Amino acid sequence: MESIRGRLTLWYATALILSLAVFAVVLYLARRRASYQDLDSRIQSEADLTAGILAESYRARGVLVEPDTANRPVLISEVAAVLEVVPDYLVLTSRDGRLLFASPDARALTFAEFERLTALVAHTPPGGSRAPGRHQVGPNGPTLHYVIRDIPQAGGQFGALFAGADTRSAELGLQQLVSTIVVAFVIGLVPAVLVGRWLAGRALEPVDQMITEVREITDGRTLHRRLAVPMVKDELARLAETLNQMMTRLERSFAALRRFTADASHELKTPLTVVRAGVERAITRPDVPQETLAALEETLQEVNRMTELLDSLLTLARADEGRAELHREPVDLRGIVTEAGETGDLLADHAGVTMEIRTPPDPVVLAVDRSRVRQLVLNLIENAVKYTPRGGQVSVQLSANDGQILLTVADSGIGIAPGDLPHIFDRFWRADSARTRTGARPGTGLGLAISKWIAEAHGGAIEVQSRPGRGTTFTVTFPRGDA
Ligand code: ADP
């Protein structure tokens, strides 16, 4: 179960099933007890009724036993006819244990079963038992609840009176009860689980809302947002408050970090400018020895690279602080692309790469920050040339349709591994193949981070497609209406 909602529903359903099961068992046991009590009181009253009839008949007639045609003693037919209507199992024996009467149910038993029944009556000590007993007559025969009693009021002609009833009559009601419970269980469970799921969903709705709100806080620039704290001061309200406090702390440390980066870059710029001016002045002196000149040139290169790095850092820090303003004005983007393309041409010539620039015949006018967009185009062209081996090709294309303006910079270079693609816009990230600051492909790993910021600051987006060894295509889109 992936979600809390699913788990809650599962727990709820399990708890429901368990409590229903307990309820059903208790109900079943109580009902069963009551059924057997009913059965027992029924056989008691049947026994009492029969004993009453016999006592009454004895008072009226005296003799109740007569010999039948085979000279065996039987109950006189008038009384037997009355007892015929008594339901269930009724057996009467004489004092010497002979059978005097058996009710129709008893007579319906098989011979062996009937024998077991009469044996049970015969073996009961005189005086009988008033507490009901339980006996199964034969392996396949019915199980009976019974009482056996004597009938002293009937003139001592009878040994014992057996009254019993089949337990099936009590079980029948119980079976109906079980099937009713099962049906109610199945019919009731589905809606109950659905309601449980709905309730869990409702209870967790604020959590979903929080997830959405937290998801929207994607980077340092959205850290100022706060979650809505529910009015009721429950656990979720406390969670929202705790998250808000955490975001306040994060925002503070982010701000401190940005400030530090901006301040450090700014502070370093002035001494670096002084160093550069000094080195440039020293280089131009005619009396500089050859080996010192080489060292000075290397220093100057390094100082230029550091200045570039500081500029990039400062741009990003200002962008993070929201202080990097765009000076937008309507510009024909074809001019910017051609201009950047000319610089790119020089680089491409030097790197032995052919370069192709295609722009549409009509002006592509958009309100943009000219120098930022130029920086973006140049960054992409420089990268394309830098990561394309000699003999390769770079093509830059500007196109426009109704909704948006597209700029693609495609190269036939080394490409980017699929695993690296998600990281290339991260700050200071460089692929392993590019990881030398001063080697054949010098760089800082900040170019694409800045390019992404420039595209997004203009309401646009930047995407990349690449296949290792085949080449890379960067696509920048600017919305026409927005920019
Ligand atoms: P860098 O200064 O290293 O060029 P970027 O931010 O411009 O920094 O690029 C980040 C990384 O993305 C590069 O180090 C390189 O590994 C990869 N990359 C960028 N552009 C291309 C390209 N056109 N072809 C192949 N890899 C590229």
Tens of pLDDT along 219-230?
777 888 898 888
Quote the tokens at residue 361.
């015949």
Task: Return the best residue to mutate from 305, 313, 375, 387 for the ligand 1 pocket (most ligand atoms within 8 A of CB).
Answer: 387
Phi, psi of 424 (to 5 degrees): -65, -20
* Amino acid in position 354: T
Instruction: Tell whether the model's pLDDT for residue 364 goes beyond 80.
Output: yes
Nearest Cα to 266, choosing from 323, 326, 327, 328? 323
User: Can you say how many angstroms the Cα of residue 195 is from the centroid of all Cα atoms in its chain?
Assistant: 17
Is the pLDDT reported for residue 435 higher than 60? no
Among protein residues, the one whose CA lies closest to atom 16 of ligand 1: 431
Split at pLDDT 50, 70, 90, the class of 275 is: very high
Per CATH, the number for 4-172 is 3.30.450
Average pLDDT over residues 277-281: 94
- Measured CA to CA, the distance from residue 81 to residue 477 in angstroms comes to 108
Assigned fold of 328-482: Heat Shock Protein 90 (3.30.565)
Question: Helix 370-386 and helix 333-351: axis angle, to 10°?
Answer: 30
Q: Which residues are near ligand 1 (CB < 6 Å)?
A: 383-384, 387, 411, 413-416, 424, 429-431, 434, 443-449, 472
Of the ranges 404-413, 417-426, 473-482, which one carries the lowest mean pLDDT score? 473-482
* 135 DSSP 8-state letter: E
Neighbour-count burial for 110-134, b at 16+ CB within 10 Å, e otherwise: eeebbebbbebbeebeeebeeebee
Ligand 1: distance of its center to the CA of 451 in Å?
A: 11
Closest C-alpha residue for ligand 1 atom 19? 383
Q: Which residues pair with 134 in a beta bridge?
A: 145
Residues 25-53: tens digit of each pLDDT: 999 899 899 999 999 999 999 988 998 98
Amino acid at 258: R
pLDDT in tens, 248-271: 999 899 889 888 988 998 899 999
Among 383, 394, 454, residue to substitute to test ligand 1 (most atoms within 8 Å of Cβ): 383
Question: Within a 13 Å sphere around the CA of 112, how many CA atoms are in the beta-carbon half?
Answer: 7
How confident is the model at residue 99, as a pLDDT?
87
The span from the CA of 346 to the CA of 478, in Å, is 27
Ligand 1 atom nearest 413 alpha carbon: 24
CA of 433 to the centre of ligand 1 (A): 10
Top-confidence residue, 462 or 117: 462
| Residues 206, 227: Cα–Cα separation, whole Å | 11
Question: pTM for this structure?
Answer: 0.59
> How is residue 132 written in tokens?
């009901």
User: What distance in angstroms lies between residue 430's CA and the mean position of ligand 1's atoms?
Assistant: 6
Q: What share of the chain is helix, strand, coil (3-state, %, to 5)?
A: 55, 20, 25
Q: How far is the CA of 341 from the centre of ligand 1 (A)?
A: 18
Taking only the tens place, the pLDDT of each residue in 2-11 is 788 888 888 8
Q: Ligand 1, atom 4: nearest CA belongs to which residue? A: 443
| Interatomic CA distance for residues 405 and 448, integer angstroms | 19
CATH 1.10.287.130 assigned to domain 235-321? The reply is yes
Flag whether pLDDT at 446 surpasses 70: yes
Q: What is the pLDDT of residue 483?
A: 41
Give me the pLDDT at residue 434, please.
Answer: 59
- What are the tens digits of pLDDT across the range 127-186? 655 578 888 888 888 898 998 888 888 877 888 889 999 888 888 888 888 898 889 888
Structure confidence by residue, pLDDT tens digits, 283-320 = 998 888 988 999 999 999 999 989 989 999 988 888 88
Domain ranges of the chain: 4-172, 235-321, 328-482
Q: From residue 98, how far is each of 87, 127, 186, 312, 387 by CA, in Å?
A: 22, 16, 55, 120, 118
Residue 464 confidence class, pLDDT cut points 50, 70, 90: very high
Q: Closest ligand 1 atom to the C-alpha of 444? A: 2
Quick one: how far is CA 379 from the chain centroid? Answer: 44
Q: Give me the helix-helix angle, 4-61 and 77-84, nearest 10°.
A: 160
Share of residues in the chain with pLDDT > 70 (%): 96
Rounded to whole angstroms, the Cα distance separating 464 from 386 reads 16
Per the listing, tokens 């980066």 go with: 261
What does the CA dihedral 240, 246, 247, 251 come to, rounded to 10 degrees?
Answer: 160
pLDDT at 439: 58
- Residue 32: which of 207, 223, 182, 173 has the closest Cα? 173
Dihedral, 145, 148, 149, 154 alpha carbons, nearest 10: 110
